Chains A and B, each alone.
Chain A
C-alpha cells in the first residue's frame, strides 16, 4: 500500500543530506455526518533546502488540506491526521504537542494565505500586526520590533514604510496587503514558507508583481517554499519541482522542466493541453470531461479512470501507487503517457 520511498534510513542518520521537510504517507480524514472521509491519502513528498515545490491541483484535490495539515492548522474536531509523519528539523510535526508546534509556526515555517483582504485584523494597525510574530517568537520589545518592521516593509517593496506602519488594513490595496502578509511571514526568518494560492485573489498585474517579489526573496534569503496553486503558469515560472494532486492523492512528482517536456500522468497531460490551447488561441478550448469525484464516492481503482481517455480494466481494480518511472520522477498511473516501457505492477 505504501509507495516505495527512496529513504529507508531513519531521519537522524540521514541528517546531513536530509531535505528540509519530508512528508511521509500523510493521510488526513475529515469528520462528517457520514463518518470519516479521507481528504488526502498517503501523500509523500519532500522539500530540499532552498528549493520551491509547487503543488498543483483542481479545487478539492486536497492541496490546501495538505498545506494546512503540515502545521496541523485544521482544528482536531474538524479533521485529523490519520496516518503519516511530517519530518522537519529532525522532528515529526504530527507528534509534537500544541505548545511545541506553536514555536515552529511562524518561527520556522510561515504561511501566506489566499485572501489578503481578510487575513489582516481590521482593527489593528499594520505596524502593530507585523510586530506581533516577532514579539511572540523572538521576545522583541515594541521599539526594536518597530525598527525591524520598517526594514521588512522596505524588503517587500512597500514605499514609505514609516507611514504605512501607522495605517490600517482598509487603507491598503490588495497587492499591498499581500506584501504585508509576506513581510509578516518573513519577519522571524523562517526556513520554509507555505504559500497557499498567494496570488489567486489578486488581479493579473499584481499577481505578476507578487510572484516576482516572492521569487527574488526566495533567492536572496535562500528560502524553501511550498507553493500551492491551480495555475500551471505560476508553477512553470517559479517552482523547481512539481507535485500534481488529484482527488486527495499525489499522482505525479517531477522536476518542472521534465513535467512540461513530457507529462506522464494522463491528468497532467490534460491540464497541460488546456494551457497549450490557451496559448495557441485557436478554436474551442479543450477540457477534461467530467469533474473531480467527491471524497466519499471515489471509484475503487484510479480516481481519474472515469475521466481518463487511456483507462482500461487494469485501472479500475485498485488505485495505482506512486512509483518511480525515471530518475527523480514518480507517477501514479498504470499506463503513463510517454513512458511505454513502463508498466506498473498494479
Chain B
C-alpha cells in the first residue's frame, strides 16, 4: 500500500494534496485568516515576516505598504484564484467541447466556420481582449471569468475536433446513426463519453494556466481592481518594493508556483494513470 502511494500514483497524491489544501484554505478563509484582508494599519506598514529580522508572530508573513496582513491577503487570494481558475476553465471547456463536437461531427461548412474562427481567435492576443473587456465593463470577478473563459475555448475546440473526426467513422457511431440516432444523441451519448478522459486531463492542466493568466491580468491591472486581495494584485503591489520589502512579491509568487505545481502534478499523474500505454512501463 505504501509503495503504491509513493510509487505509481505519487504525482496524483502529491498534486491532489496541494489542491485539497488550497481548496480548504479558500473555503475556510474567513476562519483561518488572522485579520481582515482589507484592514489597514498604517503604523505597522512593511513589517517583515517572522523569520526575518524585525518580524513578529503578530503578522506571520509580514505586512504590505498599507499595513495589511499579508498572510490574510494570501489566504483570501486563494478564493479568487481557485474560483476564477475553475470557473473559466469550465466555461472554456464547455464552449470549446461543444464547438469541437459540432465542427468535427457535422463537417463541411459548419466545420470551416467554427475552426477558421478558432484559428482567427488564436491569432488574437488575449491581453488585448482583456483590456477591451476591462475598459468596456470594468473589472469584476464575473468579467474576469468571462474573459479568461472565452479566450481559452480554442484549445478544447481543436482537441475535441481532432478526436471526433477520428471517432465519427468508427462503426459504432455509424451504427448509432443507422438505428435512428439524431445528431445530438450521437454526439452526447456516443462521442462525448469517449472524449471525457482526455478532456479531463487537459481541463485539469488548464486550471493552472487560468490561474496564471488571472494573476497576470491582475498584475497588469486588468483583473479585479486593487484593494481586492488577489495574488496578482499582491504581486503588483510588491513590484514597487521588490528591494525594500521583497517578501510581498515573493509570498504571492510562491503561492502561485505552489498551486500551479500542484495542479500540473495532478494533471500529469492523471494522464499517466488514464493512458493505457503508459501503464505498461
Contact = CB atoms under 8 A, between A and B. Distances in A.
B179 A185 contact: yes
Nearest to A76: B108
B171 A105 contact: no
Given A123-B194, A132-B189, A105 B177 contact: yes
A120 B194 CA distance: 13
Contacts of A132: 176, 179, 181, 189
B172 A118 contact: yes
Interface string A286-298: 0000000000000
A113 B175 contact: yes
Given A113-B174, A121-B190, A181-B175, A137 B107 contact: no
Given A77-B107, A121-B190, A123-B194, A136 B180 contact: yes
Interface residues of A, number: 30
Given A77-B107, A77-B108, A132-B189, A119 B171 contact: yes
Interface in B140-182: 170-172, 174-182
B144 to A, nearest CB: 36
Nearest to A123: B193
Contacts of B182: 99, 102
Interface string A113-139: 101001111111000000011001100
Nearest to A107: B180
A282 to B, nearest CB: 40
Size class of the contact patch on chain B: 10 to 19
Contacts of A73: 174, 177-178
A331 to B, nearest CB: 32
A234 to B, nearest CB: 21
A101 B181 CA distance: 10
B185 A105 contact: no
A102 B189 CA distance: 16
A35 interface: no
B180 A137 contact: yes
A115 B174 CA distance: 11
Contacts of B172: 118-122
Interface in A64-100: 71, 73, 75, 77, 99
A119 B175 contact: yes
Contacts of A184: 175, 179
Interface string A257-274: 000000000000000000
Given A73-B177, A103-B180, 19 more contacts: A73-B174, A102-B180, A102-B182, A105-B179, A106-B179, A110-B179, A113-B178, A118-B170, A118-B171, A119-B171, A119-B172, A132-B176, A133-B180, A136-B181, A136-B185, A181-B175, A184-B179, A185-B179, A188-B179
15 contacts: A73-B177, A73-B178, A105-B177, A106-B180, A106-B181, A110-B179, A111-B178, A111-B179, A113-B175, A120-B175, A121-B190, A123-B193, A132-B176, A132-B179, A132-B181
What are the 10 closest A-B residue pairs judged by CB atoms, nearest first?
A106-B179, A106-B180, A105-B180, A118-B171, A119-B171, A111-B178, A121-B172, A133-B179, A119-B175, A77-B108
Interface of A: 71, 73, 75, 77, 99, 102-107, 110-111, 113, 115, 118-124, 132-133, 136-137, 181, 184-185, 188
